[in-house]
Amino acid sequence: MCIAVAIDGPAGAGKSSVAKAVGKQLGLMYVDTGALYRTVALAALKKGIDASSKAEVEILLKEISVEMDFSENGGQVVLLNGEDVSGLIRTQQVSMAASDISALPVVREYLLDLQRNIAKTKSVIMDGRDIGTVVLPNAQVKIFLTASPESRAERRYKELAEKGEKTTVKDVLREVIKRDYNDTNRKAAPLRPAEDSVLVDTTNMNFDESVEAVAKIIRERIS
């Protein structure tokens, strides 16, 4: 039987790094669904399309192909029209466009089967915003991973600075708050904890503690 673990929560809560490490520890394939929304956003930016325009994005979706590929060692790449764009989707510009584009029901519908199909044949730990509520409502374990906006902005800033992106903690905090607002208040699949999810607040946890907290919950529920 395939096991599914859903990890949802706001931007910068550490979902991807924690889920990746937990996946390795417990033998679950890590799936970053945000990368799919980012790929659609990148396609819109490349074409100069307004990411919040339903009409323009609807046409765009008919013209592109989005795929996700996995390697044996747990790596994941996203392909836009067959081209690996995994590196190009990690900018602030793409983050903001992804937040806008993910509010469109037509985009969520477009990516739904792709996400569900991945979990059909493999045991996964899937991170996103609506995994426990919409994509995998029958997941055996659902975790809502969060942290204060300030600590999330601080972490995100460090990540971006390491990649050489020029920004400030203040700017990142402003974007974190705006993305939280967008993700939580959109009509289509808004960010909210599933009723049967376990809340993990990592504000006062370091990385190893966050990994252990999440791994412990999963071990308890699937043993």
Complex with ligand DC: residue 112 or 216, whichever CB lies closer: 112
Please answer whether residues 102 and 89 qualify as being in contact, where contact means their C-beta atoms are separated by less than 8 angstroms.
no
Complex with ligand DC: residue 3 or 9, whichever CB lies closer: 9
Contact mark string toward ligand DC, 71..110, x via CB under 6 A: ------------------------x--xx--x--------
Rounded Cα gap, residues 51 and 186, in angstroms: 14
Q: Phi then psi for 29, rounded to 5 degrees?
A: -75, 125
Query: Does 202 engage in binding with ligand DC (CB under 6 A)?
Result: no
Looking at 172, 183, 202, 211, which residue binds ligand DC (CB under 6 A)?
183
Rounded Cα gap, residues 47 and 70, in angstroms: 27
Query: Does 11 engage in binding with ligand DC (CB under 6 A)?
Result: yes
Query: Does 130 engage in binding with ligand DC (CB under 6 A)?
Result: yes
Q: Minimum distance between the CB of residue 29 and ligand DC, rounded to whole angstroms? A: 16
Q: Minimum distance between the CB of residue 38 and ligand DC, rounded to whole angstroms? A: 5
Rounded Cα gap, residues 19 and 171, in angstroms: 26
Rounded Cα gap, residues 17 and 207, in angstroms: 8
CB atoms within 10 A of CB 45: 19
Please answer whether residues 52 and 103 qualify as being in contact, where contact means their C-beta atoms are separated by less than 8 angstroms.
yes
Q: Which stretch binds ligand DC (CB under 6 A): 64-72, 125-133, 158-166, 167-175?
A: 125-133
DSSP code, position 189: S
DSSP code, position 48: T
Q: What is the 3-state secondary structure (H, E, C) of 86-153?
A: CCCCCCHHHHHHHHHHCCCHHHHHHHHHHHHHHHHHCCEEEEECCHHHHHCCCCCEEEEEECCHHHHH
Q: Minimum distance between the CB of residue 223 and ligand DC, rounded to whole angstroms? A: 27
Binders of ligand DC among residues 26 to 65 (CB under 6 A) are 33-34, 37-38
Q: Minimum distance between the CB of residue 11 and ligand DC, rounded to whole angstroms? A: 5
Query: Does 179 engage in binding with ligand DC (CB under 6 A)?
Result: yes
Q: Minimum distance between the CB of residue 51 and ligand DC, rounded to whole angstroms? A: 11
Number of residues that bind ligand DC (CB under 6 A): 15
Helix 34-47 crosses helix 105-121 at what angle (to 10 degrees)? 140
Query: Does 149 engage in binding with ligand DC (CB under 6 A)?
Result: no
Query: Does 129 engage in binding with ligand DC (CB under 6 A)?
Result: yes
Contacts with ligand DC, residue ranges (CB under 6 A): 11, 33-34, 37-38, 95, 98-99, 102, 128-131, 179, 183
